[in-house]
Structure 1
Amino acid sequence: MFRKPGSFIVTTIICMVFAFFLGKSTYSEVKVPVYSSLPDAEVEDFVNELNKSESFKYVIETEETVKNKVADGTVEAGIELKAESYTLYQVGKTGNYHLINEQLNSFYSEKIRDNAVREQVGDSSDVMETLKKAKANPLFELSVSSFSDQNKWVHDPSLQSLFGFALFFSIYTVAFSVVEILREKQEGIWDRLILSPISKFGMYAGNLLYSLILGYVQIALIFLVFKYGAGVDFHGGFGKTLILIIPYLFTIIAMSIFIAGLVKTIGQFNALIPLISVSFAMLGGAYWPIEIVTSDILLTISKGIPITYGMEILKGVTVSGLSYSDVLLPISILLLMGVALMGVGIRLMESRHV
């Protein structure tokens, strides 16, 4: 590694480049032009409330400009803001149409409710202040959630790309370090080590621990650069990600041992790893969120892929704010897969004379 660090450095840099640019390109703030006949101050208050959304940017323009932009297709929708209702102009129902409509419905429902309270109590400042405090600090909250967040999917494009490419490229780093065991067997070095005082456990443990450290250093370095260099928000789960990537790396090491036990030459191993890693990344949700996949067959296949659980763990402790206990299931699955693949892989390597 110290003599020839080129491949490690190049792989790390490529991973950072892909994660940075794809993470930026997948997120773009959607501008929605609005107009209204209401007083300017009231319209500005409406727009400021609506702009609390992180996905849509509402911009005040004239009625003619809004309708022309909608007609030309330069915007997805245009809005006419009224006191207690709105009119949404659009040419076709795009992907964001329902989201915009839902946000406006929620906004106006709250406005109508506040107006109804004012009609009942007048302009009593005490009542309105109490209502404001109740909204900010509700007496209790009810929520229904599951580990996979099927009822409420929170998507962070930057973390999706970062986690996906970090887990994807770490397969190459780990696998091509594990293959050194196969190389030692082919070159006869393994037989010499067997005759030495070193135990077989020590021989395997030394190689596998090296692969684990190498993969961990790469992923940790990428996460550190993106957190402190690119300013990516880990939502308070940065420390957890540095711990919870270990079960994933263990499973990838075990998978590499299993593949090394199946193949006969290093050439076969080198040809198989890119095929497997790319397939795993596509099916496991590294390239795109697994939540957008609708095929039951693909979702079923993804249950047997380590990247699926790696992504669930990392996104779970960051964007979903889950604790260690909440992600015990995917951690257990990764460890179980790792132990099974490790046992079978070592047995195959021991029973076959390379």
Structure 2
Amino acid sequence: MIGVLTAKLRLFIRKPWLFLMVSILSVVFAMLISSVNKQTIVVPVYSALPESEVKEIIRSLEQYNLFSFKRMKKEEVEKLVGEGKAEAGVELKKDDFRIIVASNTPNSYLVQQTVQKVYAKALQSKSIIDQVKEKQGESSAKQVAKSLAEAKNDPVFTVETKHFRADETVIINSKMQSIFGSVLFFVIYTIAYNVFNILMEKRNGIWDRMILSPVKKWEMYTGNLIYSFATGYIQVALIFAVFHFVFDVDFSDKFWFVLVLLIPYVLAIVAISIFIVGIVNNEQQFHAVLPLVSVSMAMLGGAYWPLEIVSSDALLLLSKFVPVTYGMDLLKGAVVYGYSFSDLLYPMSILFLMAVVFMGLGINIMERKRA
């Protein structure tokens, strides 16, 4: 078995292109989809105030995480709004503001409310300081201003806002959906083509020559399966690591937990790949069946779109027989819904069951064909 693994490793070092290509495609595909789903609205602003004051106002505006405010020249703002490329523009003044719109829209009203909140808070602080200055003098006003600034940067207490939701409430995270879906889909090809080498080696007589050696058949199967599992798992772990450490994607502090949850999914894909290799007779059939199976599993399993938006009972029933469904349940359950290990035992057990069943069927079919 060690000899088989060593030979596979040397072959991988010589030809790592499939592994690298699928890894790059997974990252690019996930980034493209997540960027399409990202709906940040840019609001152009202009002002005659000093740069430092404008930056402070924009920083306060973007704390609401509703819009992205970008400073431009007055002519640019009026042109963008006039051409309909921006729903609203804002002129920032010392103690007031002006909204520039071509037509009233829900977003333009929301922009006005957001800017109004920021100015109301600023005017409230200014009013407090002015009153203290009038009654107690300049030194007291400076002390109050300093205290307000410190309280803003380092508040005594914080208020955490949460939304009430029932246990059945659906949460759709577009970014994590695109990352999980693309990675779980593309890794199918890496694993399947590694398992496919078993069929090619048998057809080329390599297994017949190896059987004459001290290597036993179960060691040959085990070596190939361990190699297929390892390459698939390393690929998924590597892609997630790139998103987490390079692109700073938040896995809700469960990055290492996610890597553990990937094990049953990768095992299930290895088993299904063995089954596919067992039922096909040649390379042409394999190249025809694999895309059909992988794309179908991705569509039914919720890799392309969330199953939460699917209303067809027939499609939901079919999704119960697809490993991608349970892989997405594991990843979204841990990262999006915050489920614990015990809460995820059901999809894990289903994936392990699929791994055992399909692996047994696939190896049995291959041995029967050989006989």
If the length of structure 2 is used for normalisation, what is the TM-score?
0.67
3-state SS of 1:52 partner: helix
Match for residue 242 of structure 1 among 246, 256, 259:
259
Q: Is the CA contact (8 Å cut-off) linking 1:258 and 1:345 kept in structure 2?
A: yes
Once the two structures are superposed, the pairs formed by residues 139-218 of structure 1 within 5 Å of their partners are 143-144=164-165, 146=167, 150-151=170-171, 153-156=172-175, 159-190=176-207, 200-218=217-235
Aligned to 1:9: 17
In the alignment, is residue 32 of structure 1 matched against residue 43 of structure 2? Answer: yes
3-state SS of 1:58 partner: strand
Structure 1 residues 184, 72: CA separation in 2 closer, same or farther (over 3 Å shift)?
same
If the length of structure 1 is used for normalisation, what is the TM-score?
0.69
Q: Is the CA contact (8 Å cut-off) linking 2:192 and 2:273 kept in structure 1?
A: yes
Structure 1 residues 250, 103: CA separation in 2 closer, same or farther (over 3 Å shift)?
farther
Query: Which amino acid in structure 2 is aligned with residue 155 of structure 1?
Result: S
Q: Which has the larger displacement, 102-111 or 163-172?
A: 102-111
Task: List runs of 5+ in structure 1 lacking aligned partners.
Answer: 116-122
Aligned to 1:119: none
Q: Is the CA contact (8 Å cut-off) linking 1:8 and 1:173 kept in structure 2?
A: no
Deviations 1:126-167 (A, max 9, x none): xxx8xx9797246x96743658x614x3332xx544433332
Structure 1 residues 6, 88: CA separation in 2 closer, same or farther (over 3 Å shift)?
farther
Once the two structures are superposed, the pairs formed by residues 313-332 of structure 1 within 5 Å of their partners are 313-332=330-349
Compute the displacement of 1:11 (Å).
3.5
Match for residue 361 of structure 2 among 330, 344, 347:
344
3-state SS of 2:328 partner: helix
Aligned to 1:56: 67
Aligned to 1:306: 323
Deviations 1:223-259 (A, max 9, x none): 334444x233243222122222111110111111111
Task: List runs of 5+ in structure 2 lacking aligned partners.
Answer: 1-7, 124-130, 132-143, 145-150
Aligned to 2:292: 275
Q: What is the RMSD computed on CA atoms of the aligned residues?
A: 4.9
Whole-angstrom CA distance in 1 between matches of 2:54 and 2:257:
43
Compute the displacement of 1:305 (Å).
2.8
Structure 1 residues 92, 215: CA separation in 2 closer, same or farther (over 3 Å shift)?
farther
Q: Is the CA contact (8 Å cut-off) linking 2:46 and 2:72 kept in structure 1?
A: yes
Whole-angstrom CA distance in 2 between matches of 1:262 and 1:304:
19
Q: Which has the larger displacement, 303-312 or 212-221?
A: 303-312
Compute the displacement of 1:104 (Å).
7.5
Aligned to 2:147: none
Structure 1 residues 4, 320: CA separation in 2 closer, same or farther (over 3 Å shift)?
same
Indicate the structure (1 or 2) with the bigger Cα radius of gyration: 2
Q: Which has the higher helix share?
A: 2
Q: Which has the larger displacement, 342-351 or 4-13?
A: 4-13
Aligned to 2:240: 223
In the alignment, is residue 233 of structure 1 matched against residue 256 of structure 2? Answer: no
Query: Which amino acid in structure 2 is aligned with residue 343 of structure 1?
Result: G
Whole-angstrom CA distance in 1 between matches of 2:342 and 2:104:
45
Deviations 1:25-78 (A, max 9, x none): 434742024699xxxx99987754441244621357899976763442212455
3-state SS of 1:352 partner: helix
Give the aligned length: 341
Q: Is the CA contact (8 Å cut-off) linking 2:177 and 2:306 kept in structure 1?
A: no
